[in-house]
Structure 1
Amino acid sequence: MEQSKLAEMYAFGDQTMSDVTVCLKNIDGKPEWFPCHSVILKRHSQYFADLLSKGHPSYQSIESNNCIEVHCTQNEYESYVKLLKLLYLPEESVSDSWESVKSVLGVLRASVALQCRAIIQSCILYLEAVPWEEDEEEEIVRLAPSLGPDAQPLLARMQPVDSNATKNVLLSAIHFATTTASSLPPFTDELKTSAQEQVEYMLLEDEDTPLVAVDEEVKSEVSTGLSRMFTKLETVLNMLSSGFDESPEAAEQQLLQSLSDLEWMCNILPKMEMMKEFVSGWAYISDRMLGVIQDDKYSSSLWSVKAKLIEMTGKALDAIGYGSVVLPAPFRLHFLKTWLPYIRKLKPLLDAKSLEDESFPYKMDNDLCQNIEGAITSLVLALPSNDQADILADWMKKIEQLNYPDLTEAFEVWCYRTKTAKRRVMVGLKEAGNPTAKLRAGEATQKVAKEAARNKKVAASEGAKNGICRP
């Protein structure tokens, strides 16, 4: 008999034609009885069909009390009741009864337990066609083994993506995240932010199971995007004066956005071993940038930009000072001499503004100050000794420069190394012409080296206690 005709003959809960009762425990833990019809139960549930077959061991006990007790937890009660009702509907009406993923998952669990194949198929068709929340997806994963081959349409959405397809998505996301076009629709600002966040996620998160490998094609796209960002920054700098005259707030925001995009780049470049490209680009534009920002026209404005420049420079100093980016000494010296006066000048200004107005948001925090100071100290100590001498002498000439950055540690290490170098030269001169000079000079050199290593270890230990890294 067709299901539609059965639906017309039998109705859920109709006691007049009921020949079997299903017992469930409600949400309060109390049993509830539902008048049902064996022809409906056997047609749609293999579980009920087995119990109601005359050859089944349980048939006699069911026949005697006319009741089937179905075990379910209190949380599952509503799902089992809904399932019993669905057994009475025509198949084409079942799919129209679904309301949410959560409710369908509950019915699916009950359908698996009672072996209701048609309802299971309807559940799967619905779930495959709608989006899931994370916890719902986890539940589907747990249910999948009990569904057998029927679970394939659901699992297809959770299979690892082909590596080429993944890389294509990443390349597109990088391209959009580094876009500098100014004529895009307003909604693309949010999309660009999302692209940047997801690029970070794909490249930086889950290092044990990376989503995509960083190959030369990925690096090339990142390098191209970084070049576009620096070009955009240079363009914004060139237009700052005229833009500032029209709208200071808009001009400041545009420049700040360019810097923020580059700051985002600094999050992903170290993981790709490409930080050198940022440092080189930042050094190339530094003189131009400082020449614009330090114009008297902006002496009492652009505070967000001025503070952001210190943060960005701090990232470059960190990379140079601690050796993650290896560059020639003249480059390192020029970079330090370019930015050190700006940092010395701006920090007291930001501190003063913060004292005047507690709500002033651009004061350099302690972590940033310590990181920059430590990076500068390491950078200074890695320069040739004469260059170190020039920097330290200039530092001590003006009292206002002594406070930040504090180069005391670099000064002390320089003094020790200078004296050690002098002693090494004197030992060599005294031993010149002596038949045993070579042997004694070698012993003296070893002694000096051991003493230097011992003192360096002590100095490094003291520096670590003060939160400053020594080279």
Structure 2
Amino acid sequence: MTIGGGAGNGVPKKRQRVGSNSQLSSTIAVITGSSSDASPTDVYRKPNCLRRSTSHSVLPQSSSYNAPSSVRFNDCATADVILRLYRERSTAFESDDSEYTTAVGQSDVQIYLHSDVIRQSKYFAAVLSDRWQKDSDDVGSGKIYRLNLGVPATACSINNHWEVLQLLYTNDFSNTITSVSIALSLLPVALELLFEDCVRACVRFLEVVPWSEEEEKSVLSLMPFLGEEDSKELLARVSHSDNDTPEEMLQGLILAAMHNHPNMAFAKAFVAKLLRDFSSRESARRVLDRAFETSLKVVKELLEEYSNPDLRGDHNETEAIQRLNLHKAMTNARHLLWLIERMIELRMADKAVKDWSDQASFTADLQRTFRDDAWRNIVPGLPALVLRCTLKLANAVTSGSILAARQVRMKLVKDWLPVLIVCKDKIPAMLPSHPSPYRELEETFLRIISTLPMLDAQELLQQCLSFSTRNVEDCPHLVSAFKTWFRRANRSPQAENLY
């Protein structure tokens, strides 16, 4: 923008063609304007001598000013400042004036202002000071200041400047700033003119209303030009501290969906979608691993308390505690199954399989619990639920979605096979169309055994005889597993050396 030069009459007129590097013959100041394609952050860049600062020694502090009733905006009869607003060219190769004016609207306008009023703007206070202002016209007993102000060559730039200049007279911010788009249009101009009251009004409005994604980008682009106090609330909305990370937010959502939300099924479905769409797979993996470890620990502790009760004290009280432990174990086992399903869906269950395969004490507690029939009337579905967790992980191993090491595969079957054997007859037979989870887990364990070295497979297959039923025809999976082992065992060493 350029201050100085002549101004025309009060009728808006077409700006004269100038090149991109032209300079006005002002002796006051030259401030470079932005091009038509400038970003919002480029619109109001000023030289250091006019950069917005609350501690600037030359510019007075802004305060609300109520213009006298006799002083009106754009009143040529009483004005002592004639301001010419003009759109600046982006290049020296613009089309002719008529095409330019048609494309972007009015490109030159003259406004009549009053120096006492516009000094609320620290920018105008500096321009009108004796230090800057040298040339003026004497009209009668007063001075007439003639100023030029270049604005970006955008469709609404003159309108936005007009609105801000009018606010110097009315201070009617509440009725003017009524939307985010208006606040974002006026704020760069208020910053450019160092009109502090208007800046605060725009910022205050932006603090308390929602933004669209595009509006948020515009707010962020303006942040560097706001003071620390002005931007504090805006920054708090769009930035997080070290202790408020996306991982912790996701962790909190998982815990809330599992434990606190009354409509748990819908909450879990929503969180599952968030996990699928989460931007960082590693962050999602860490969150799920922590949640899995926590839930598994809770279930283990509850089963340990149940299978090793403290028999001191009142018998009825002990029995009530035992029932409560089983109910809590059942609830947390459901959460554990949901977590396992999410981890498998996202192919992030590697650590879960490793942890699940190393649970000798947990599986021992489960065996003691299920050998006692007391659980039947309290949590009849607990055995099926616990082994369904095992089945999900074991199936992920056999399908290759989890590339588990040999020791992990070995331990998975070795630790959980005894639990399967104890539980096999603890659930009524299912309909043929709904195969028992125990039969599914038998088949999956046998497939895992087929991936192990011969000696390990021999040890585990001997424990699988309980998979057999009254009729041989009812256990083809077991027959097939032994046939495979014997076929490999009968392979001669000489034939193996050929490969």
TM-score, length-scaled by structure 2? 0.49
Which residue does 1:427 correspond to in 2?
A: none
What's the secondary structure of 1:327's corresponding residue?
helix
From 290, 309, 314, the counterpart of 2:391? 314
From the superposition, tell whether residues 214 and 102 of structure 1 become closer, same or farther in structure 2 (CA, over 3 Å). same
Query: 1:104 aligns to what SS in structure 2?
Result: helix
The residue type equivalent to 1:20 in the other structure is L
Q: Distance in 2 between matches of 1:371 and 1:83?
A: 74
Partner of 2:184: 105
The code of the aligned residue for 1:5 comes to: N
- The residue number in structure 2 matching 1:4 is 65
Q: How far has the Cα of 1:419 moved from its partner?
A: 1.9
Answer yes or no: is 1:264 the counterpart of 2:364. no
Asked whether the equivalents of residues 66 and 169 of structure 2 are also in contact (C-alpha less than 8 Å), the reply is no
CA contact (8 A) 1:176 1:192 kept: no
Instruction: Decide which of 150, 162, 167 is 1:86's aligned counterpart.
Output: 167
Cα separation, 2, equivalents of 1:407 and 1:111 = 84
Report if aligned partners of 1:196, 1:264 keep a CA contact under 8 Å in 2. Answer: no
Mapped pair 1:327 → 2:411: yes
Measured on the aligned residues, the alpha-carbon RMSD in Å equals 6.6
2:73·2:112 contact (CA, 8 Å) conserved in 1?
Answer: yes
> Which AA in structure 2 matches 1:418?
A
AA aligned to 1:388 is L
Alignment of 1:67-216 (within 5 A): 68=149, 70-74=151-155, 79-80=160-161, 82-90=163-171, 93-94=172-173, 97-128=176-207, 134-147=213-226, 149=228, 152-153=231-232, 154-163=234-243, 173=252, 177=256, 188-189=262-263, 193=267, 197=271, 206=280
Conserved? CA contact 1:175–1:221, under 8 Å: no
Contact in 2 for aligned 1:23/1:69 (Cα 8 Å): yes
Question: Which blocks of at least 5 consecutive residues in structure 1 are unaligned?
Answer: 57-62, 240-250, 296-301, 352-363, 365-369, 425-443, 455-471
SS at match of 1:4: coil
Q: Which amino acid aligns with 2:451?
A: L
How many residue pairs match? The answer is: 375
Match of residue 447 from structure 2 = 377
SS of aligned partner of 1:349:
coil
Q: Is the alpha carbon distance of 1:162 and 1:306 closer, same or farther for their aligned partners in structure 2, counting shifts above 3 Å?
A: same
Query: Is residue 11–residue 88 contact of structure 1 (8 Å, CA) maintained in 2?
Result: yes
Counterparts of 2:86 and 2:267, CA distance in 1:
55
C-alpha contact 1:101 1:136 (8 A) present in aligned 2: yes
Corresponding residue for residue 418 of structure 1:
489
Tell me which amino acid in the other structure corresponds to 1:86: L
Return closer, same or farther for 1:123/1:390 CA change in 2, 3 Å cut-off.
Answer: same
Aligned to 2:83: 20
Distance in 1 separating the partners of 2:134 and 2:256: 68
Q: Judging changes above 3 Å, is the alpha-carbon distance between structure 1 residues 65 and 415 closer, same or farther for their aligned structure 2 residues?
A: farther
Shift in Å, 1:11: 4.0
Residue 312 of structure 2 corresponds to which residue in structure 1? none
Is the CA contact 2:85–2:110 (under 8 Å) kept in the aligned structure 1?
A: yes
Q: Which residue of 2 aligns with 1:388?
A: 461
Shift in alpha-carbon separation, 1:274–1:167, aligned structure 2, 3 A: farther
CA spacing shift, 1:225–1:333, aligned 2, 3 Å: closer
**Residue equivalent to 1:436:** none
Q: Normalising by structure 1, what TM-score? A: 0.52
Structure 2 vs 1, CA of residues 336 and 225 (structure 1 numbering), >3 Å: closer, same or farther?
closer
> What whole-Å deviation, never above 9, does each CA across 1:114-173 have from its counterpart, x for those lacking one?
54444223333444455655554443332223336566513355554234x769967993
Deviation at 1:31, TM superposition (A): 1.6
Q: Which residue of 1 aligns with 2:92?
A: none
Which amino acid is 2:485 matched to?
A: W
Residues 190 and 198 in structure 2, CA contact (< 8 A), matched pair in contact too: yes
Separation in 2, partners of 1:114, 1:372:
78
Per-residue deviation, 1:54: 4.5
Is 1:37–2:108 an aligned residue pair?
no
Rate the CA distance shift 1:273–1:69 in 2: closer, same or farther, 3 A: same
Moved more, 5-14 or 388-397: 388-397
Q: Is the 8 A contact 1:105 1:123 kept in 2?
A: yes
Contact kept in structure 2, 1:233 and 1:259, CA below 8 Å: no
- Cα separation, partners in 2 of 1:288 and 1:214, compared to 1, 3 Å: closer
Instruction: Measure the CA separation in 2 of the matches of 1:174 and 1:68.
Output: 53
Between Structure 1 and Structure 2, whose CA radius of gyration is higher?
Answer: 2
In structure 2, C-alpha distance between the alignment counterparts of 1:27 and 1:255, rounded to whole Å: 75
CA distance in 2 between counterparts of 1:9 and 1:232 reads 86
388 and 231 in structure 1: CA distance in 2 versus 1, 3 angstrom threshold: closer
Residue 195 (structure 1) shift: 12
Provide the secondary structure at the position in 2 that maps to 1:120. helix
Amino acid at match of 1:381: T
Amino acid of the structure 1 residue aligned with 2:241: V
Contact 2:180/2:215, CA 8 A, preserved across alignment: yes
Partner secondary structure for residue 87 of structure 1: helix
Higher relative contact order (CA 8 A, sep 6+): 2
- Contact 2:122/2:193 (8 A) holds in 1: yes
Task: Note the alpha carbon deviations across 1:401-426, whole angstroms, 9 max, x for none.
Answer: 65xx7996x67753442223xx34xx
1:271 offset after TM fit, Å? 6.7
Q: Which runs of 5+ in 2 are unaligned?
A: 1-61, 88-99, 136-143, 308-319, 399-403
Counterpart for residue 46 of structure 1: 123
Instruction: Name the CA distance, whole Å, in 2 between partners of 1:17 and 1:290.
Output: 101
Amino acid at match of 1:6: A
